[in-house]
Amino acid sequence: MPKKFSVQIIGGGLAGCEAAWFLANKGIGVKLYEMRPKVSTAIHQSGFLGELVCSNSFKNLSLNHASGILKAEMKKFDSLVMQVANQSTIEGGTSLIVDRETFMMKMNEMIINHPLIEVIREEVVSLDLQEYTIVCSGPLTSDALFHYLAKNIIKSAEEDLYFYDAVAPIVKLSSIDLNLAYYKARYDKGVASYLNCPLSKDEYKIFYEALISAKLANNHPFDRVYEGCLPVEVLAKRGYEALLYGPLKPVGLEINHQRPEAVIQLRQDDFHKSLYNIVGFQTSLAFKEQERVLKLVPALRNVEIIRYGVYHRNTYINSPKILSNYQSKEFPKLFFAGQITGVEGYLESASSGILAASYLYSYLKTKAIIPLSRNTIMGGLANYLNCPNQTFVPMHANFMLVEEEVSIKKRDLRNQFYYERSIQQIDEYLERIGRLS
């Protein structure tokens, strides 16, 4: 089949891979530019497309959660991330957890083997605005592209275009004391796949004092953090109990009928169960300090850290100002998708790649965008980016995004209604998109 490359996609992360997959499966040739491994970001660890930068969790599977419905919506679009996640699953109770290595190797393989996708390993530093383009360069967009976008496309002060974010450490299972740690799912719901490290009242006090006084890796400004994913030390500084109601919450994790004062949870990171990542423990502490503080947890006193937590700039644009339905208001051939648009999270980023590609596709065919109903999570997220908002902050999947709330009182029944309505709207949408080919 002769290759005709009509669309270029910048960035081979979750959004870029999904966008390329969607378009290529519609018969549109795609040039996918990815700068790794030649040029890396401060966080990525490999040259694989679709790398997961921090946790290996795609969150809740239940259709009672917005995140579960988002997964169902993505499957309707034949999402590549959902296909590959399902082939890479490891035990995660009520959540969809993947073996990180397998996930990204498969993502990479699926994309490079697609006959209508050409992967070009190059850093993009400027855009050809005459070409159909989707920018999916993510929260870690390279400096050169960041400056180009700020000056030429977004035309905004660079300080408006980022916040700070961090990743959590990954540790070796063999270095955890399994006489002190225990497997249990919160409230015993689902399989007991989380490893829990308990702290008594006195142990928590010592741990807490060490955490709030530990040295940071650099003098990062803490005024620009994302409330939904605060570094553990930033959250701790808000009060002695902040962690106890947050990532170290002991409720539902009782052992021998006793509730510890606090619990640090670890989640399996690979198929072989040799690596675990620390849930909610994203941090910007100096490496030695991460080790020192974690070793104050009895079950972690000999812990070996395989990947340290790190802190980084997280770029996003002021979408309501410059985009409408993922399309640039000023340059109609230019689209954006992924975390750079202000959606927040792996699946939110991936799903926005699908929808932006679908919007580009309808624009390519008809010179108009066919928008997805706002009564879906994907459509609701896209709409959130359209709405002028004084303090535009990144947004994850939630039920407040859907257009028409319903007055069904029982939560389960209400969410069931949201799910069914959402799937019906997506079926109708896909039928309309299908008629364009």
Ligand X SMILES: Cc1cc2nc3c(=O)[nH]c(=O)nc-3n(C[C@H](O)[C@H](O)[C@H](O)COP(=O)(O)OP(=O)(O)OC[C@H]3O[C@@H](n4cnc5c(N)ncnc54)[C@H](O)[C@@H]3O)c2cc1C
**Residue numbers at the binding site for ligand X (CB under 6 A):** 10-16, 33-36, 41, 43-44, 53-55, 123-124, 136-142, 145, 165-167, 312, 314, 338-340, 345-346, 349
Residue 162, beta-bridge partner list: 315
Closer residue to ligand X, CB minimum distance, 23 or 124? 124
Backbone angles phi, psi at 49, to 5 degrees: -70, 150
**CA within 13 Å, CB half, 268:** 23
Please report how close the Cβ of residue 81 comes to ligand X at its closest, in angstroms. Answer: 10
Please report how close the Cβ of residue 361 comes to ligand X at its closest, in angstroms. Answer: 19
- As a whole number of angstroms, the distance between CA 205 and CA 310 comes to 25
Region of 57 please: left (phi>0), alpha (psi -120 to 50) or beta: beta
- DSSP helix/strand/coil, 7: strand
* Number of other residues whose CB lies within 10 A of the CB of residue 54: 19
Closer residue to ligand X, CB minimum distance, 260 or 380? 380
Q: How far is CA 164 from CA 229, 269, 310, in A?
A: 10, 24, 11
Backbone angles phi, psi at 164, to 5 degrees: -105, 145
Closer residue to ligand X, CB minimum distance, 8 or 196? 8
Please report how close the Cβ of residue 107 comes to ligand X at its closest, in angstroms. Answer: 10
Please report how close the Cβ of residue 273 comes to ligand X at its closest, in angstroms. Answer: 20
Closer residue to ligand X, CB minimum distance, 267 or 374? 267
Crossing angle, helix 346-366 and helix 411-434, to 10 degrees?
A: 30
Closer residue to ligand X, CB minimum distance, 199 or 378? 378
Query: Taking CB positions, which residue lies at the least distance from ligand X?
Result: 13
Angle at 397 between CA 141 and CA 18, to 5 degrees: 50
Please report how close the Cβ of residue 41 comes to ligand X at its closest, in angstroms. Answer: 5
Please report how close the Cβ of residue 22 comes to ligand X at its closest, in angstroms. Answer: 14
Closer residue to ligand X, CB minimum distance, 196 or 339? 339
* Number of other residues whose CB lies within 10 A of the CB of residue 329: 11
Please report how close the Cβ of residue 268 comes to ligand X at its closest, in angstroms. Answer: 15
3-state secondary structure 229-252: HCCHHHHHCCCCCCCCCCCCCCCC
Closer residue to ligand X, CB minimum distance, 250 or 309? 309
Please report how close the Cβ of residue 15 comes to ligand X at its closest, in angstroms. Answer: 3
Closer residue to ligand X, CB minimum distance, 204 or 281? 281
**CB distance 115 to 4 below 8 Å:** no
